[in-house]
Amino acid sequence: MKQLWAPWRIDYIKSEKPPGCILCAKLKEKKDRANLVLMRGKHGFVLMNLYPYSNGHLMVSPYQHTCTIEELSDEVITNLMQMVRRSILALKESFKPEGINIGLNIGKAAGAGIDDHLHFHIVPRWGGDTNFMTVTAEIRVIPEDILKTYQQLKPYFKSPL
């Protein structure tokens, strides 16, 4: 079995979490650029992960505050999948990844860092993106400033779904 080491995530895991839901709080602030929100759709939103596994790591989440997919209507699920598809297209066009991981972690035991608000991860991948720096030095190399990545991706999310 191969392992994906993500030691840079420990900063988030150990950090003090604000009370309430971080995803709901970011949406209420109406500071989309500062909060890395790329698009607000009909039933959900796309935002960049502040603690990315790789450059361009996106998340798609419903507005509905729920931790289970069963509580979402078919209409909401369809809209979320449309946003996942748009995210993939934006990443392929903008960053030319060699692969993409899509994940949905439900519950802490499944790896959910934010376990009270459902969200999909869309992670662009390249051969060699997990290398000796990550494994031995516990350093993750993200080659571009996160706000520059935001500016590069934002045009792909101008029209909401």
Q: Which long-range contacts (CB under 8 A, 24 or more apart) does 111-117 make?
A: 112/67, 113/9, 113/12, 113/13, 114/21, 114/22, 114/23, 115/67, 116/21, 116/65, 116/67, 117/21, 117/22, 117/23, 117/24, 117/61, 117/65, 117/66, 117/67
121/127: higher pLDDT? 121
Closest CA to 24 of 47, 58, 2: 47
Q: Which band of pLDDT confidence, cut at 50, 70 and 90, is reported for residue 53?
A: confident
Average pLDDT over residues 100-124: 86
- Kindly report the pTM of this predicted structure: 0.80
> Which helix (H) or strand (E) is 62 found in, with range?
strand 58-62
The token duo for 113 is: 């860092």
Measured at the alpha carbon of residue 139, what is the angle toward residues 133 and 144, in degrees to the nearest 5? Answer: 100
Measured at the alpha carbon of residue 50, what is the angle toward residues 20 and 44, in degrees to the nearest 5? Answer: 60
The token duo for 21 is: 């839901």
Of 4-18, 20-34, 82-96, 117-131, which gets the smallest average pLDDT? 4-18
Candidate list 43, 65, 117, 119, residue with the active-site label: 119
Q: Which fold has domain 18-157?
A: HIT family, subunit A (3.30.428)
Give pLDDT, residue 99.
Answer: 94
Give pLDDT, residue 17.
Answer: 64
> Which of 17-31, 56-70, 117-131 has maximum average pLDDT?
56-70
Phi, psi of 19 (to 5 degrees): -65, 150
Give pLDDT, residue 154.
Answer: 96
The domain segmentation of the chain, as residue ranges, is: 18-157
Residue 11 has pLDDT above 80, yes or no: no
Give pLDDT, residue 20.
Answer: 83
65 is catalytic: no
Strand partners, 61: 45
Residue 133 has pLDDT above 50, yes or no: no
